[in-house]
Amino acid sequence: MTALVDEELLERAPHDNSLPRVTPHRTAEITSHLRTPKTLWCPGCSNGIVTRALIDAVLALDLNDDRTCVIAGIGCAGRITAYLNWSTVHTAHGRALAVATGAKAADPGLNVIVVMGDGDCVAIGGNHLIHAARRNIDVTAVVFNNSIYGMTGGQMSPTTFEGDVSTTSVYGNVEQAFDICELARAAGATYVARGTSYNYQRLAQLIAGGIAHKGFSFVEAMVACPTYYGRQNGIPTPADMLKMQKARAVPVEKFDSEGPRLRDRYPVGVLHHAERQEYTAAYADVVRRSQEPPRD
């Protein structure tokens, strides 16, 4: 596992001290954790980038492969389950967090990572997001947010912005987009972060930080969908979409805003980090108390 980048350079590179250090791995090492590197994702789709960042994050934390499982919903992001070589579950649409809740509760020693698209997470899956966050159950949710429904051909999503064109908003979307990080935070998530596919190093660190955090971790990964979002909204190339991420992402410590994040300007980094009792730990206490002999 040779490091790609000069160690000296890495030492000088700015990074968030509170996040785990992630040393990106060689492509061969990355693909050794895939059943196949030949994915069905479109040319320029960032899903492959975020998949790589996820693998780098897991490797950085030196997690036991056998005890790591990825539970994903339906959509382009969900297809990650066919590619990753760890235990994976491809659930019904929107239900990944509920399935993950059952798996983690039944076996709290599992490292559970939940991958969802934006529609899977906050449209059909919205209720389960709210309650997984409320319970503060120790799973890491990574949302591949491309602001569109890709798999079904380019319909709008709850994270599509006002004015955006999609196949179900041909006159321009009239609905406000969710700030899904705010949603997760308000519901009780104790680690909330947002990163972009453009800033790979930071994204991998944010995911690693989420996995390492004991509690409900929520990482929003900004993903480019050139085929549907890009083409319908006049963005010529995948590279342009990544550049737009660079232009729009503002490190959270420099971001000040009174309202929800906009399409054109949003905070990235660790947006929220708190500690409160995690669900499976709290339930272990229930088990203990239920087995105490009854008092007189």
Residues from 181 through 220 that contact another protein (CB under 8 A)? 197-198, 200-201
Residue 276 binds another protein, judged by CB under 8 A: no
Judged by CB under 8 A, which stretch of 24-32, 147-155, 187-195, 270-278 contacts another protein?
A: 24-32
Write the secondary structure of the chain as one string of H (helix), E (strand) and C (coil). Answer: CCCCCCHHHHHHCCCCCCCCCCCCCCHHHHHCCECCCCCCCCCCCCHHHHHHHHHHHHHHCCCCHHHEEEEECCCCHHHHHHHECCEEEECCCCCHHHHHHHHHHHCCCCEEEEEEEHHHHHCCCHHHHHHHHHHCCCCEEEEEECCCECCCCCECCCCCCCCCCECCECCCCCCCCCCHHHHHHHHCCCEEEEEECCCHHHHHHHHHHHHHCCCCEEEEEECCCHHHHHHHCCCCCHHHHHHHHHHHEEEHHHCCCCCCCECCEEEEEEEEECCCCCHHHHHHHHHHHHCCCCCC
In contact, 144 and 77? CB cutoff 8 Å = yes
One residue of 19, 20, 52, 58 binding another protein per CB under 8 A: 52
- Rounded least distance, CB 185 to another protein, Å: 18
**How many residues interact with another protein (rule CB under 8 A)?**
90
Q: 238, 226 in Cβ contact below 8 A?
A: yes
Write down the least CB distance from residue 64 to another protein, Å: 9
Decide: is 239 part of the binding site for another protein (CB under 8 A): yes
Q: Does 95 bind another protein (CB under 8 A)?
A: yes
CB of 103 to another protein, least distance (A): 4
- Which residues 127-186 are close enough to bind another protein by CB under 8 A? 127-128, 130-131, 161-164, 172
Residue 220 beta carbon to another protein: minimum distance, rounded to whole angstroms = 18
- 259 is an interface residue for another protein by CB under 8 A: no
Work out which of 23, 152, 214, 248 binds another protein, going by CB under 8 A.
Answer: 248
Q: Does 71 sit near another protein (CB under 8 A)? A: yes
CB of 165 to another protein, least distance (A): 10
Nearer to another protein (CB atom), residue 170 or residue 239: 239
CB of 115 to another protein, least distance (A): 13
We find the least distance from the C-beta atom of residue 151 to another protein, in angstroms, to be 12
Binding residue for another protein, selected from 58, 86, 177, 249, defined by CB under 8 A? 86
Question: Is residue 240 a contact point for another protein (CB under 8 A)?
Answer: yes
